[in-house]
Amino acid sequence: MNFNIPKNCIIGICDAAPLEEERQRLLAIPTPFVTQDIEKRINPAKSLPGAKSVIVLGKAYEPSPTSNLSSLAYGIDYHLTIRKMLETLAGQLNCNTYIMVDNGPLAERAFAVKAGLGFWGKNGMVISPKLGSYFNIGLLVVDTVLPYSNPLDEKCPDNCRLCIDACPNNAIGRPMDCASYHTQKKSAPSLKQMAGQLYGCDICQACCPFNPKAETLDYIDPQTILDMTEDIYTHTAMGWRGLTHLKRNASIILDKKGE
């Protein structure tokens, strides 16, 4: 089935059978900000009764131009843009649908791999031969059978440790230790947990050989954040936390709390 999508997007389709191979991985590696109900994470039928297929859309984003503020801070919130694209796709199908863009239970990355968008990186990101890991994911679950894509027969080089060695928190395989999680959680983190990041963390992506390299990276002075009177990031994917949250993180860095 052909869908008209922009050049900066990739798309694949897989069956909606439960991801049984993901069950043990999800049980072993708790993921923040999502339900811990494994059945809801692996089984599309829990979100759409009678689910038969999952259309997976990936939309590229530009890597962050800064070293201490992630790509989430730049561009229009992908939740809105990808949802609009999936709604357009859904309108082309005569069936029941369920759309999820980081706002539901399904394990998006696992379905992206199953649908052939990319392969698992050692850092837990999905790596596309076309886009690297710099893309966001949306799911369109439908209750009709569609032509399925093939998973990619690729993987990270066995001898590559770049993301593992670069992670400041030694958090590869442990999302709850990731600096990105600590900058987003409600409870105040320590400076060590944040690894000096204002919000999010792109370090494991920036060093990946499948991704383009930025020639230079700017550093945002945390004082600049504290001096802000208007939330210029409200339209971005980090807007859900708001300026008060970002200022909290900036204050922790400046005060060197929990070194």
Question: Which residues does the annotation mark as catalytic?
Answer: 102
Q: What are phi and psi of 103, to 5 degrees?
A: -130, 20
Specify the length of the chain in residues: 259
Per DSSP (E only), the strands in the chain are 9-15, 53-60, 97-100, 119-120, 126-127, 135-142
> Distance from CA of residue 17 to its chain's centroid?
22
Give the 3-state secondary structure of 171-206: CCCCHHHCHHHHHHCCCCCCHHHHCCCCECCCHHHH
Q: Which residues, in sequence order, are bridge partners of residue 5?
A: none
Tell me the three state secondary structure of residue 6. coil
The rounded distance, in Å, linking the Cα atoms of 58 and 80 is 13
